[in-house]
């Protein structure tokens, strides 16, 4: 009898532990737990970056950005105490996203020293996104009809040109006194370095537009870097609404310059 009970117990034990339903439930729980831990560890700004370029970026973990084509980029290079100049010349993605762009009218005027969200750019990110060289970028440019009827070239990657078209639609609804800031735009695509640096301008990627230079101010034109701006906020607000940051909110200001950077807005 004892033997029969023992055999029965053993049978019950094995049939229970081998129950596929129990095993699957256990496996699914582990999977959910690790997914939650994984999500929790992704820095907020990296999550924002992911959400802003859904066609190209796949996922992230606590220190890596994974592209859909298999490219992996490091978020934090681990180099501490970089000066602002060092961050401009040799940033990582963390440096690029560190300063918070203030949308709308409540930004600090003049901008505090070296406060210029968006001016620090991790170049490999833009080369990968928009094109590795002038020809590659140009193959992704489309013609967009500017407010004055002229044609400007803009990248169609990640919806940049569609966003510019939305901006234009709204700019055209502004009263006629705003026209003078918009006619004869300073330009969009040019594969070039930023003046006096070895860094590529965002114009190289076909994702920046300079409006009429006649009413704009640039820090390099000023002797003492005293902040000046003549561009009305009505224009800035429209650009920001559609994913563009404005160079007029930078310490090293560039008030003609608008750049498609949805991850900062």
The least CB distance from residue 147 to Zn ion, in Å, is 17
257 or 261: whose CB is closer to Zn ion? 257
Phi, psi of 151 (to 5 degrees): -105, 135
CA 77 to chain centre: 18
The answer to whether the Cα torsion of 64, 102, 165, 142 is positive or negative is negative
57 or 235: whose CB is closer to Zn ion? 235
Question: What order of strands is seen across the sheet that includes strand 64-67?
Answer: 57-60, 64-67, 72-74
Query: Of 228, 232, 226, 241, which is closest to residue 211 (Cα–Cα)?
Result: 232
210 or 240: whose CB is closer to Zn ion? 210
The least CB distance from residue 55 to Zn ion, in Å, is 25
The least CB distance from residue 189 to Zn ion, in Å, is 11
115 or 260: whose CB is closer to Zn ion? 260
The least CB distance from residue 258 to Zn ion, in Å, is 8
210 or 217: whose CB is closer to Zn ion? 210
The least CB distance from residue 186 to Zn ion, in Å, is 7
The residue number whose beta carbon is nearest to Zn ion equals 257
Query: Of 99, 154, 93, 98, which is closest to residue 125 (Cα–Cα)?
Result: 93
Q: What six digits make up the tokens of 224?
A: 């003492």
Phi, psi of 123 (to 5 degrees): -55, -40
Residues lying near Zn ion in the complex (CB under 5 A) are found at: 208, 210, 257
């Amino acid at each position: 009898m004892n033997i029969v009970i023992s055999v029965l117990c053993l049978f019950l034990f094995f049939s229970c532990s081998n129950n596929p339903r129990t095993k699957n439930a256990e496996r699914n729980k582990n999977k959910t737990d690790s997914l939650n831990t994984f999500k929790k560890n992704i820095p907020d700004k990296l999550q924002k970056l992911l959400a802003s370029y859904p066609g190209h970026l796949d996922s992230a973990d606590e220190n890596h950005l994974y592209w859909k084509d298999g490219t992996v980029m490091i978020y934090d290079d681990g180099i501490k105490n970089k000066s602002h100049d060092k961050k401009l010349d040799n940033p990582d993605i963390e440096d690029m996203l560190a300063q918070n762009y203030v949308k709308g009218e409540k930004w600090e005027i003049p901008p505090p020293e070296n406060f210029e969200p968006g001016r620090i750019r991790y170049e490999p990110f833009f080369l990968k996104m928009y094109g590795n060289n002038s020809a590659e970028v140009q193959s992704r440019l489309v013609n967009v009809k500017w407010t004055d009827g002229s044609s400007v070239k803009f990248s169609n990657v990640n919806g940049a040109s569609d966003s510019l078209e939305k901006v234009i639609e709204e700019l055209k609804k502004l009263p006629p006194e705003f026209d003078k800031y918009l006619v004869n735009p300073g330009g969009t695509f040019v594969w070039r370095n930023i003046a006096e640096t070895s860094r590529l301008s965002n114009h190289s990627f076909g994702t920046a537009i300079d409006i009429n230079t006649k009413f704009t101010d640039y820090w390099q034109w000023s002797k003492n870097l005293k902040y000046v701006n003549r561009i009305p906020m009505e224009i800035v607000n429209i650009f920001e609404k559609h994913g563009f940051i404005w160079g007029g909110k930078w310490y090293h200001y560039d008030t003609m310059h608008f750049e498609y950077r949805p991850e900062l807005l």
